[in-house]
Chains A and B, each alone.
Chain A
Amino acid sequence: MKLTLFAPELLLLMGGLVLFLMSTGKTSGRTARAITLAMALLNIAVCVGCLRFEGALFYDAYKIDLFSQSLKLVISVGFAIVLLFGTELKGVADDVRPEYYFFLTLSTLGLLMLVSSVELLTMFIALELSSYSLYLLVPMRDDHSGLRMQMESAIKYVLFGVVATGVMLFGMSYMFGLTGTTYFVKLLPALQQMMGNPVAIVAIAMVMGGFFFKLAVFPFHFWAPDVYQGASNETTAFIASVPKIAAVAILIRIVTLVTPEGQAIITMLMVFSICSMFYGNLIALVQTDVKRMLGFSGIAHAGYVLLGLVTLQDAGYATSLYYIVGYLVMNIAGFLVVCKVSQQGENVRISDLSGLYKRSPLLAFTMAVSMFAMAGIPPFVGFMGKFMLLTGAYKAGYVTLVILAAINTAISLYYYLSVVRVTYTASPGDRPALVVDGTTKAVSLALVVIIIALGVAPDSILKIATDAVRTIL
């Protein structure tokens, strides 16, 4: 076994071990954060170094290729950004912070393993490693309001998660029963020949269900708004963005199983896509809590991402990847502002953003860019992503779907714009000016630049995404 192939995971594993040891003693949260941050930054460097590595590990259950490596890089960057701006971590009590960072690291480790796994059980273990760590992060919130919302959210998260896992495991057992193997390499041709068989369709659909849960696609979305609301702001920033990258990656892996005969699956994807868009956007219209609003908007964005999958073409998958990477950046930018506006780790209502322009011009600008980008207005990444998704779906012949998606863009405008409106035009009242530290300033500027750069010059990342998609299996 070549250890270099496993380097990013190994690094996180070691870091996790250190954090675990620290959590047994009396380490301060500050030290734990410093170590985690150093490890996360180092991990980015390692991921860049490993980008072009190829190979297989663990009896071929684990595949290293451009697809997995580039996604590992994106996940690591997301992880590092969340750590970078989560300086205060106001929503989590100081004495549990080493544990907090420990589980955050483990969850990232699970995601890294997930994008590399090409065998059902490996995939299952990786997914559960990442999920269980997140289940534990949610109730760690130290809620000053005494509502104890985090407990309810955590229970909801676990229950829905377990059901989704159960469904997925059931599907996997069908796959194994049909083909006698758990390896994707053998599953793929075997299942593709069975596309006319209803059991195969059911199996694939059930396995997808597990990842629909991660991505918060309708009807697996119920956990999302409540967990977003209940978890601390920094945790939500992570849950809302980073795992979605891995979920889309695996969905792409599974969709490659589908051939045109598997029309039932394509229909299912279409129905889920339409329902997600309409449900997410319509419910988001009436939200007052920013995190809940972002939760519902996330459901809608998951619907957009599925547009790339229904095409069953490389270009469509690449666009989905491009879109979800863009979503990671614009979503994290929005959450950054939420974290900073929140004074004691409490939830932020849309009205709390009133007059943010006067309290902190940079944060207001970041919020506006994030919202305009999510609404799909050029020249930001959200527009280019939607444009290419729509082009791909239109090319594949789904005109109705494209028109419905376009209409949804128009619906979503209203609530994105209302955030910008209160940010720029309402009076701040007696809310004090916000002090923003240098790191946060740098991170938010960097996010804004990335959002614009990805939108104006999508060619290079799209090329990587296309290359990466071609290396699958």
Chain B
Amino acid sequence: MDVLIMNEMGFPILSTLIFLPLAGALALLCIPGDSAAKIWSLVITTVTAAISLPLYWNFDLTTAKYQFGEHTPWISSLNINYTLGVDGISLLLVLLTTLIMPLCVLGSWKYISKRVKEFMICLLLMETSMLGVFMALDFVLFYVLWEAMLIPMYLLIAVWGGPRKVYASIKFFLYTLAGSVLLLVAIIALYLSQGTFFIPAMMGQAYSTNFQILVFLAFFLAFAIKVPMFPFHTWLPAAHVEAPTAGSVILASVLLKMGTYGFLRFCLPITPEATMIFLPYVQWLSVAGILYGGFTALAQQDMKKLIAYSSVGHMGFVTLGIFVLNQRGIEGAILQMINHGITTGALFFCVGMIYERTHSRELASAAGIGKFMPFYVTYLAFFSLSSLAFPGTNSFVGEFLILAGSFADNKILSACAIPGAILAAAYMFRMLQRVVWGGTKNPGHPGLLDLNLREIITLAPLLVFVFWIGLAPEPFMDVMHVSVTQLIKQTGIASHGSVSVTSLMIP
């Protein structure tokens, strides 16, 4: 247990974060009335977010060990434990989750009008399992939470979704669950070879190459579907388009990150040899994803679909960053995971806000809306700029690091990925141009109200992070630095040398 620093804060902060939303969901069962349910969920998610902040303040930046650890035996006959802990890789994802959830409640305030209580219960259950996935250090605990999250997400899409919600929800559920079935077999195989489900104990062990290849393939299928990597992405546009706004935001901001988190936490340190063997294929799949996502996004008329396909491209950058296996690439990938969560989450909120007003997500029907909704277009413009990695915004830092990392690894690869950034500019500007200045005269537009205070508050924190990370990424980079160094050491691949972000950005 020397890799786990036990929690010494006086109260079990990680368990509190996991179980507070669950308790909130149970309490919701007894709370009558729709508005009470909304307020209660907002309070619970905000309190959870507040409780998560000390994680950042008390985080020890100098060690790669898992911190705030908790350890209780769970199923002793199989040596399964309830073990929690966060390191530099998971901390930011935990914070991202706790930040996004209150915004999701706010963003659903008016959008959800039927079965409000059940909707909020699903949101809170999602929060419990997502936080648990990022904190779990026991593989069974991880798997339980990883799968349990499917049920509330399935219901979010199937009950509150758009016209083709049934198709989309089933596709989402079957794809992701079928993908992770073999993950279970891999977990069992690892357990029997190490005698424990403690994840850090499985890392850096000398498994035979054949064993690694099989385990890697099982891991890869589960995580690649979740990311989703091209060509496993086909569930994503359907799920995104049909899900309610909060569902899309959670999907884009957090769920997709669970796949890339899986790559970082399991594939690289547990099966390093197999990772090296499959490296070129995964890298080229990532580049294919970047280009495919970009081109497809360019052709979309539906704004939600556009952002969904852009996600495929953005996540391609993230997997590329991870699998170039150097410090810059991986740090860029982790930062880009956070960035994508913030930016794409915000863009989905923006589309949801238009949809609430015009009941359409078509670019054509939103054309020219800028004249009547100045606040809205301001937000939309900033988030679009962030999405296309405009310098000064968060995604620029992430994509720059990833491309710098991949350039050090393979110049041809890097050259093939760069057009992805140009494509992003093309489809984002196309959307922005239509929505803000599009000349179409839609009779309904003059009556549209601009954002109200609730909507402004929903988007404001995300905008703050867009610029904060874009202009001063150090506080975020510092968190992950030691852990990433350790990860690269475990992977056994020589680092291409670590360079501070500032020296990269300011020549």
The one of B150, B155, B159, B191 that contacts A391, using a Cβ cutoff of 8 Å: B191
Residues of B within 8 A of A458 (CB): 75
Residue of B whose beta carbon sits closest to that of A455: B144
When the two chains form the complex, which single residue of B159, B181, B191 contacts A406, counting CB atoms closer than 8 Å?
A: B181
Q: Please state if A421 and B148 are interface contacts (CB–CB under 8 Å).
A: no
Question: With A378-B143, A383-B144, A383-B147 known to touch, is A413 a contact of B184 (CB < 8 Å)?
Answer: no
Known: A379-B148, A395-B192. A406 touches B185 (CB 8 A): yes
Q: Which residues from B are CB-within-8-Å of A459?
A: 74-77
- Say yes or no: is A200 at the interface (Cβ < 8 Å to chain B): no
The stretch of B12-20, B172-180, B277-285, B491-499 in contact with A is B172-180
Contact between B192 and A406, CB atoms less than 8 A apart = no
A124 an interface residue at 8 Å Cβ cutoff? no
- Number of chain B residues whose Cβ lies closer than 8 Å to a Cβ of chain A: 33
Answer whether residue A38 sits at the interface, using C-beta atoms and an 8 A cutoff: no
Tell me which residues across on chain B come within 8 A of A421, comparing CB atoms. Answer: 158, 166, 169-170
Closest 7 CB pairs of A and B: A378-B144, A410-B178, A410-B181, A406-B181, A394-B188, A378-B148, A378-B147
In the assembled complex, the Cα of A417 lies from the Cα of B158 at a distance in Å of: 11
B504 at the interface (CB under 8 A from A): no
**When the two chains form their complex, are residues A413 and B174 in contact, meaning their CB atoms are under 8 A apart?**
yes
- What residues of B have a CB within 8 angstroms of the CB of A384 in the complex? 75
Please determine whether A462 and B75 come into contact, CB atoms closer than 8 angstroms: yes
User: Smallest CB–CB gap between B143 and chain A, Å?
Assistant: 7
A288 at the interface (CB under 8 A from B): no
Tell me if B165 counts as interface (CB < 8 A to partner A). Answer: yes
Question: Is A394 touching B192 in the complex (CB atoms < 8 A)?
Answer: yes
Q: Of B74, B140, B148, which contacts A387 at CB under 8 A?
A: B140
A425 CB-CB contact with B under 8 Å: yes
Interface centre among B77, B147, B177 (most CB of A within 10 A): B77
CB-defined contacts of A315 to chain B, threshold 8 Å: 77
Residues in A with CB closer than 8 Å to B165 are: 425
Say whether B177 contacts A410, CB under 8 Å. yes
Q: Mark A371-390, 1 if CB is under 8 A from B, else 0.
A: 01000011100011001101
Docked Cα-Cα span, A377 to B176, in Å, equals: 12
Q: Are A377 and B188 in contact (CB under 8 A)?
A: no
A324 to B155 CA separation, bound complex (whole angstroms): 28
CA A358 – CA B336 in complex, angstroms? 43
Contacts of A379 in B (CB 8 A): 144, 148
Q: Which residues of A contact B (CB under 8 A)?
A: 315, 357, 372, 377-379, 383-384, 387-388, 390-391, 394-395, 399, 402-403, 406-407, 409-410, 413-414, 417-418, 420-421, 424-425, 458-459, 462-463, 466
Query: Counting CB contacts under 8 A, is B189 at the interface?
Result: yes
CA distance A403 to B186 in the complex (A): 10
* Contacts from B to A (Cβ < 8 Å): 74-78, 140, 143-145, 147-148, 150-151, 154-155, 158-159, 165-166, 169-170, 173-174, 177-178, 181-182, 184-185, 188-189, 191-192
Q: Is the CB of A377 within 8 A of B147?
A: yes
The reply to whether B181 and A409 contact each other, CB–CB distance below 8 Å, is yes
A-chain residues with CB within 8 Å of residue B170 when the two chains form the complex: 417-418, 421
Determine if B158 and A462 form an interchain contact, defined as CB atoms under 8 angstroms apart: no
Task: Name the residue in B74, B143, B173, B192 with the highest tally of chain A Cβ atoms < 10 Å from its Cβ.
Answer: B173
Which residue on chain B has the smallest CB distance to residue A378?
Answer: B144
User: How long is the Cα–Cα vector from A402 to B184 in the complex, in angstroms?
Assistant: 10
A409 to B174 Cα, complex, angstroms: 11
For A377, the closest partner residue in chain B by CB is B147
Contact across chains for B144 and A407 when beta carbons are under 8 A apart: no
A403 in contact with B174 given A378-B148, A463-B77 (CB within 8 Å): no
Is there contact, CB below 8 Å, between A424 and B182? no
Q: Contact check: which of A372, A391, A395, A463 meets B151 at CB < 8 Å?
A: A372
- Known contacts being A377-B177, A459-B74, is A394 close to B166, with CB within 8 Å? no
Q: In whole angstroms, how far apart are the Cα atoms of A315 and B192 in the complex?
A: 15
Chain A residue nearest in CB terms to B184: A406
Residues of B within 8 A of A410 (CB): 174, 177-178, 181
Q: Which of the residues A399, A403, A406, A424 comes within 8 Å of B155, measured between beta carbons?
A: A424
Q: A387, B77: Cβ atoms under 8 Å?
A: no
Name the distance in Å between B81's Cβ and chain A's nearest Cβ.
12
Residues of B within 8 A of A420 (CB): 154
In whole angstroms, how far apart are the Cα atoms of A27 and B182 in the complex? 57
Q: What's the minimum C-beta distance from B145 to chain A, rounded to whole angstroms?
A: 8
**Distance of A406 Cα from B222 Cα, bound (Å):** 13
Residue pair B75, A406 in contact (C-beta under 8 Å): no
Contacts of B74 in A (CB 8 A): 459
A377 with B151: CB separation less than 8 A: yes
Q: Using CB atoms, name the residue of chain B closest to A459.
A: B75
B181, A390: Cβ atoms closer than 8 Å: no
Tell me whether A388 and B78 are in contact (CB under 8 A).
yes
CB pair A414–B174 under 8 Å, yes or no, is yes
Shortest beta-carbon distance, B131 to chain A, in Å? 15
In the complex the two chains form, what is the Cα distance from A174 to B383 in whole Å?
Answer: 79
Is the pair A390, B77 in contact by a Cβ cutoff of 8 Å?
no
Complex alpha-carbon distance, A442 and B147, angstroms: 28
Contact A417 B174, CB 8 Å, known A379-B144, A391-B191 = yes
Residue of A nearest to B179 (CB): A410
Given A403-B182, A459-B75, the answer on whether A394 and B144 have CB atoms closer than 8 Å is no
Chain A residues closer than 8 Å to B184, beta-carbon distance = 387, 390, 406
Q: How far is the CB of A441 from chain B (nearest CB, A)?
A: 14
**Inter-chain contacts of B185 with A (CB < 8 A):** 390, 394, 402-403, 406
Nearest CB in chain B: distance from A167 CB, A: 35
Interfacial chain B residues near A407, Cβ < 8 Å: 181
Given A377-B147, A391-B192, 15 more A-B residue pairs with CB atoms under 8 Å apart are A372-B151, A378-B144, A387-B184, A390-B184, A403-B185, A410-B174, A410-B177, A413-B178, A417-B170, A417-B174, A421-B166, A421-B169, A421-B170, A424-B158, A459-B76
